[in-house]
């Protein structure tokens, strides 16, 4: 009984409940879609794993590390082993978020992390097959965050073991083999690494090594012949004329698809963020201008939802589906909402420089993860799974804002306000 009480009271108890729930879901997972392709490609083609990866590099993708791991699990190992490792990746994801962004009251915030993560639609993890989607997005996100969590130890001058350094480097190698995470890690290492050098007046060799790895992985994306061949093939299949679009037009598509997921599809995690931000600013400031800014995204989203309901009536459907002018107006509307959220984050955290940098950086890399996808002709075909890193950034922003609420309550309690 005492052991049970100890487990219940531990900081990681919410993680235990979450992992049990995830494990139950894994019981019903089977190989689908791309999983079947990766499960048979070597045997059907009578080629070795190395030869398969060589061909993929030449003809299709620079994700040779990720696909090497994926084929190993799909073709050469029982699925139960993948399921066990995949459950571990869910744990690594929530644990790393906690390690990076939660310093106290861990049990409460660990529960919050699990609850918010459950608000992200689970169906996105099987869009290309459970194994293929998880390895390319969940594993990359979890391992990338682990890489950042060790980075935080260096920033706080904590002792890092040799094994942690080794796993730190290996995690960076795997995570940065995916284009979105390579961009995210590059921005984080540039900003936080720069601040580390300025603060400590020295360079950490492990951080420098990882930074070089990230740059090399980004270079690999550009020089890989398979990426160019894949772009040509997928443009023909999924988006004819994509290469003729300007960078601004591609960015427009990226913003519209990203915000359509959040607003049109009614993603709870996004609505939770804008409601939370409005609440914080309303409670913290008596200034009506600040309050207006705080409520503006929520008001604009509600207005948009109502307007879309009217415009999606049968007599108006042609306008929605075919008007380029409408799409530009829609993009501009979304940009205003995104810009206001950025301003709100500045208003909320302007008195805490470190939290401000963290919040803006998290928000920016989440957006950049979607902008990178906007450069691909599969922007529509890839589906919502490519928004996972954006959703994780929203999850983190929710945590940071709730921490800010508690901080304000502490000030009031201690008579500082």
- Contacts of 108 by beta carbon, 8 Å cutoff, 6+ apart: none
Given a contact cutoff of 8 angstroms between Cβ atoms, the answer to whether 64 and 174 are in contact is no
Task: Extract the tokens encoding 212.
Answer: 């070089």
Cα torsion angle, 39, 41, 42, 45, sign: positive
Domain segments of the chain: what residues? 228-417
Task: Express each pLDDT in 242-271 by its tens digit.
Answer: 989 999 999 999 999 999 999 988 899 999
When pLDDT is averaged across residues 131-145 and rounded to a whole number, the result is 96
Structure confidence by residue, pLDDT tens digits, 184-233: 999 999 998 888 888 877 778 888 999 999 999 999 999 999 999 999 99
User: In terms of Cα–Cα distance, which of 123, 40, 75 is closest to 385?
Assistant: 123
Share of the chain above pLDDT 90, in %: 67
Statement: residue 383 has pLDDT above 90 = no
Over the stretch 327-377, which tens digit does the pLDDT of each residue have? Answer: 898 999 999 999 999 999 999 999 888 899 999 999 999 999 988 998 899
pLDDT digits (tens, 9 = 90+) for 257-314: 999 999 988 899 999 999 999 999 998 888 889 999 999 999 999 988 877 776 665 5
Q: What tens digit of pLDDT does each residue of 102-125 get? A: 988 899 999 999 999 999 989 999
Summarize pLDDT for 155-190 with one digit per residue, the tens.
777 888 889 889 999 999 999 999 999 999 999 999
The percent of residues in the chain predicted with pLDDT above 70, rounded, is 94
Two structure tokens written together for 220: 């690999």
**Cα 99-135-397 angle, rounded to 5 deg:** 35
Calculate the average pLDDT of the chain. 89
Residue 321 pLDDT grade (very low, low, confident, very high; cuts 50, 70, 90):
low
- Locate 342 and state its tokens: 């950025």
Task: Name which of 83-92, 107-116, 360-369, 401-410 the model is least confident about.
Answer: 401-410
In the numeric block, the tokens 């890193």 are attached to 389
With cut-offs at 50, 70 and 90, classify the pLDDT of residue 412.
low
DSSP codes of every residue in 369-398? HHHHHTTSTTTTTTGGGGGHHHHHHHHHHH
**pLDDT of 199:** 81
């Amino acid at each position: 009984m005492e052991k049970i009480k100890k487990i219940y009271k531990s900081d990681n108890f919410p993680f235990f409940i979450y992992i049990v729930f995830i494990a139950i879901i894994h019981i019903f997972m089977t190989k689908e879609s791309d999983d079947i392709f990766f499960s048979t490609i070597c045997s059907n083609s009578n080629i070795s794993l190395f030869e398969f990866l060589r061909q993929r590099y030449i003809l299709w993708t620079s994700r040779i590390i990720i696909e090497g791991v994926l084929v190993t699990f799909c073709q050469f190992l029982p699925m139960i082993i993948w399921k066990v490792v995949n459950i571990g990746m869910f744990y690594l994801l929530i644990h790393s978020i906690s390690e990076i962004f939660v310093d106290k009251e861990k049990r409460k915030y660990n529960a919050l992390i699990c609850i918010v993560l459950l608000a992200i639609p689970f169906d996105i993890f099987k869009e290309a097959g459970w194994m293929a989607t998880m390895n390319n997005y969940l594993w990359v996100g979890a391992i990338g965050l682990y890489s950042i969590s060790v980075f935080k130890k260096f920033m706080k001058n904590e002792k890092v073991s040799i094994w942690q350094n080794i796993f730190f480097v290996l995690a960076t190698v795997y995570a940065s083999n995916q284009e979105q995470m390579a961009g995210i890690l590059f921005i984080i290492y540039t900003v936080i690494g720069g601040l580390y050098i300025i603060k400590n007046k020295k360079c950490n060799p492990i951080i420098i090594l990882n930074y070089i790895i990230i740059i090399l992985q980004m270079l690999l994306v550009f020089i890989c012949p398979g990426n160019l061949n894949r772009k040509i093939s997928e443009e023909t299949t999924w988006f004819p004329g994509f290469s003729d679009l300007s960078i601004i037009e591609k960015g427009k598509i990226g913003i519209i698809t990203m915000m359509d997921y959040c607003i049109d599809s009614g993603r709870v995690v996004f609505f939770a963020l804008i409601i939370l931000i409005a609440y914080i600013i309303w409670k913290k400031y008596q200034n009506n201008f600040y309050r207006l800014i705080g409520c503006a995204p929520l008001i604009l989203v509600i207005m948009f939802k109502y307007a879309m309901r009217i415009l999606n009536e049968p007599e108006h459907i042609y306008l929605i589906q075919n008007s380029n002018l409408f799409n530009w107006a829609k993009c501009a509307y979304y940009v205003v909402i995104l810009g206001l959220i950025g301003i709100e984050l500045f208003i909320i955290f302007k008195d805490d420089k470190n939290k401000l940098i963290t919040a803006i950086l998290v928000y920016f890399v989440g957006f950049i993860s979607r902008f990178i996808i906007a450069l691909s002709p599969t922007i529509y075909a890839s589906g919502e799974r490519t928004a996972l890193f954006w959703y994780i950034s929203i999850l983190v922003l929710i945590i940071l804002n709730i921490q800010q609420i508690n901080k304000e309550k502490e000030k009031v309690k201690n008579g500082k306000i």
